[in-house]
Structure 1
């Protein structure tokens, strides 16, 4: 019977991405970074050399990507041991120790860049997400992400959003039906009005599938409500128009606001009474968080 792998740190929680997906992403990243070996480390570092490295935060923020970090080092050399000192979602301050990495020096040097790239990127997403979540505290509005993610990294970035305290929208086009302006334009070209189009789509999907419809004008709301949408997305509405839309919808559908949302505007949007605010910036505009890895060769 094969022994279970040793734990890598704090118990995994809801913020963790699936391990199989992390393994796949890290394998591709390492193959990209060292396709036929790490010439620098192999030429400069004795094969027998071992090292201890500490991952340290240099700024305030929120941690994410711990599993990806540990996986990168272990795939670089399975003899490397990674001890995560903090769980994803933990607050960071300058000088905070995040992880200890021990093992063959060559492997640590080879895995360092991929491990840091992922941890810095994902911690940046979690940090920006936490700022949005804090900005709407007490309003009842839920902050969610979008599909505006880095190609190939979606599962990691959406986990980082959860680590930052927000929620996920659709993970993919397969998850739910969302009729946007271009979908409705195609249906209109087929001779279907908005309400009729929504009903036609509803008849083709399982009863368990959520149906969301995007609108960009107040005068579209009546037809969308008549069609029976579960969620109505108000795209690029001014706060005053959102207030009008919330009153008009009057609880007959969940209300999502999206489009151009910033930290400066999100509170006012939340205070209109919408249920959900989707923010593409959580993943497409988050700066990498400054994390450093300091190595001491033994």
Structure 2
């Protein structure tokens, strides 16, 4: 009866509900799931909940799912291939209604389809939704920020202001990282600038590490712009500029990514790209509910435009 069966009369329902309330009875979600073939539960996996982007994504997802009456089971897989596969299999064993993978690491490195075979296998058992990653396959639905266009626009804006040697700083070969690099390269090519390998600078998503690395390499590396794929790396560049007494943005233009709280905590405040994570998460949940509860056709791949938030570290 507590499952909402239409075969039970309204009068009987009210009697049972009154007894439940009197005895402070809460229905067991697992027992309900057995009767309905639905646990009203969504599995969410992210690589690292300590990362601010991942933490915000999980918070957005959980809030939106709860508004539809769904609970969440969270797993933090790390970045290793075997660990990611194990977490997917673990959550599938929990009889979840669907699976959400947060972050482009789950879309592989772009070099080997095997990297994502485990996702296609999971999608044979339950719908799989990916946030800022794209994998082709049946029953897989992806919502991605338009990282390519965002980095293209930032690089193009720097070029218009006379920047000729823009340093591209990244920490990952993930789907999102590759899209950002392609946007950067396209802006250089459209401006007639060469794509210099030495200006593609791999670092860690860490302020001090990036600052120190720039101090080391700046002896032989010249650049007048920095386009970073994370805010922490961009702030590392800001700190590097302070140590070297380089004026920002007059001599060095710097832009970050994801518009985190660090962007407005930086001095000067950091120009950054808002990747619209809230929109990605809401779109994912809305589409999920349309698929699960309404059996409606939904888009396989959604691309959400980003917004460049201009602050004090750029002059465009």
Superposition TM-score, scaled by structure 1 size:
0.25
Superposition TM-score, scaled by structure 2 size:
0.24
